[in-house]
Structures are given as structure tokens and as C-alpha cells.
Amino acid sequence: MQIIRHSEQTLKTALISKNPVLVSQYEKLDAGEQRLMNEAFQPASDLFGPITLHSPSDWITSHPEAPQDFEQFFSDPYRKTPSPNKRSIYIQSIGDILKFLKKKKPEDAFCVVGITMIDLYPRDSWNFVFGQASLTDGVGIFSFARYGSDFYSMRYEGKVKKLKKTSSSDYSIFDNYYIPEITSVLLLRSCKTLTHEIGHIFGLRHCQWLACLMQGSNHLEEADRRPLNLCPICLRKLQCAIGFSTVERYKALVRWIDDESSDTPGATPEHSCEDNGNLPKPVEAFKEWKEWIIKCLAVLQK
């Protein structure tokens, strides 16, 4: 196992910058938010730890990329920001990918994110991806396919049994497609991937500073190790992009975890998509994350 541990000064610069304008912006954050974000460069922090690489197949090793600090994020000329007329995030179940989403994007949409049970292969040289996003077009896609507990078994019902050629506008092949059992682990994994891809659409690139939701993941084990939370550097980027109170954001997340009911109809292998009854929201796997949020709130409200 390899640990990527940056110096205190490197992390401080990545978070705050040496640009006087950006330093001034940081100093205008309230005291609680600065306390929390400063945990990024505290060696003994129990909230934000270094990145650990467990194998040569992990993302950072197999996909070398230049890191993006806050100043690079802020100065990116291609970064999109929401506006009063484009501030909605649409989530749509589909069978095709980014071009389809771009064509179907509503006028008031900041972004559209598609979800599918089809395994995703962006190009022949890749084994698969959990999700993809276009930073410039405001569209993204992610797949539940590998999150079901039976994906790697012979019982997996989502495998194509017979090759079938269809036109690019014919989506009938996806009718009655396999729906996995909705478990707490599947929901946690899906939340990680969906919010990771939306983070890309807001201009956040893969994080190489600390253990973070915006780390790339090349396989399921690495995706499971990735936390659901943003590190302070990426948190500042997102706050800059859309504006929010960190305290209110974390309180809302705790409320979402504590609310065990689902606001939308769900489906399991025993319940078809036509079933209009609401299903309980499985949040057992979110317990550790809730405890982490409560620790952050204690720092914020000290």
C-alpha cells in the first residue's frame, strides 16, 4: 500500500492559494468554515486523511493527471456556473449516453445526469467506467450495473443473451431491463458516483490532495474506499461554484439520512416499476458518514 501525503504548505496553498484576491475571499468565510477547511493541512486531523493506493490498478497510478488546486479551478475559462435561468439538475433514466442527454437537455437545466443499468465502456482500451461527464456540455451518465450484489455471478440478469442490431433511435432493447435489489450498499455506491459526476460538471477535476469523493476510481474496491464527502479543497471549489452555508448543507445531509422514507417510488425484483407504493429508504450503510458529518458540525459550530 502506498500513501500519498502532501506537505502542510502544499495543501495550504492548494486550498487557499497565494493569489491575494483568493486569499482575501478565503478570509471572508466565517470562522467555522475556515476551521473546518483548515483541517486539510492539519497532520493529526481525524476528519481528512491522505490518499491510499492499494494496487497498481488504482486510478492515480493507471490514469496520470495533473492535480487541480483551488486557484486553477477558479481560473478555468471553461468552467460552467449556474445562473438564475439555468439552475436545475435533471436525473433521467436512459439507455443511451451523452449525445442523447445533450439533445434532450431542458432550457432551464444546468446539467442533466442519466442513470442506466447498462455497463459503460467509453472506449475499447478501457475495461469499464462507473460514470462519465462532459464539463462543457453539462451532461453526465452513470451506471448501476456493477453495484448489484450479483453482478459477477452467473445469476446476473442484466447480461445480453443475444446480440441484436437496432437503429440509434430504437431504445426498445432496454424495455423491462434488469433492476437490482435496492440495498443500502447499492444506494451508497450510487450516491458516490452520481455526486462525483455532478462535481465534474461543476468544474471539479479528480482530486489528488486528500481522501475525497472526487478521487477517480478504477474498480469497485477503490470506489468503496473513496469517501462520500469532499475534502476541504474540493469543498471550497463547490462552494465557490454554487454558494452555500456549509453548516446548513451538513444539517440537511443529516436530515436526509434520518428521514427513512423515500420520496419517490422505487423498485426491486419483487416490485415492478409500475408499483406506485413508496419503499423505505435503506440508509444503514450511511451510518459512518453521518457520524463524520456530526464531527464536522462540531468543528463548524465551536
pLDDT (tens digit, 9 = 90+) per residue, 145-192? 777 666 666 555 555 566 666 665 665 666 666 666 778 888 898 889
How many angstroms separate the CA atoms of 220 and 179, rounded?
19
* Model pLDDT, residue 110: 85
Decide if 300 contacts 250 (C-beta within 8 A): yes
52 or 103, which is more confident: 52
Alpha-carbon distances of 90 from 87, 109, 241, rounded to whole Å: 10, 7, 18
Q: Phi and psi (nearest 5°) for 227?
A: -75, 165
- The DSSP result for 171-235, as a single string, is -GGGTT-------HHHHHHHHHHHHHHHHHHTT-----SSS-TTS--SSHHHHHHS-SSPPHHHH
Closest CA to 182 of 257, 281, 286, 288: 281
* Model pLDDT, residue 139: 80
Average pLDDT estimate for 114-129? 68
* Model pLDDT, residue 266: 39
How many angstroms separate the CA atoms of 146 and 287, rounded?
23
* Model pLDDT, residue 16: 98
Average pLDDT estimate for 273-302? 82
Confidence bin at 23 (pLDDT 50/70/90) = very high
* Model pLDDT, residue 243: 92
- Percent of the chain residues past pLDDT 90, beyond the cut: 43
Cell of 138: 453539462
Question: What's the mean pLDDT when you consider all of the chain?
Answer: 82
Cβ burial, residue 214 (10 Å; 0-12/13-18/19+): buried
* Predicted TM-score (pTM) above 0.95: no
CB atoms within 10 A of CB 29: 15
* pLDDT tens, residue by residue, 210-251: 999 999 988 888 888 999 999 999 999 999 999 999 999 999
* Model pLDDT, residue 259: 85
* Model pLDDT, residue 98: 63
**Which domains are assigned to the chain?**
1-78+208-213+221-261+280-301 (no CATH), 80-154+172-202 (3.40.390.10)
Catalytic residues: 197
Amino acid at 291: E
Q: For residue 75, give every residue at least 6 positions away whose Cβ sits within 8 Å of its Cβ, in sequence order, or none.
A: none
Distance of CA 211 to the CA centre of its chain: 13
How many angstroms separate the CA atoms of 213 and 235, rounded?
10
Average pLDDT estimate for 22-35? 97
Cell of 181: 435489489
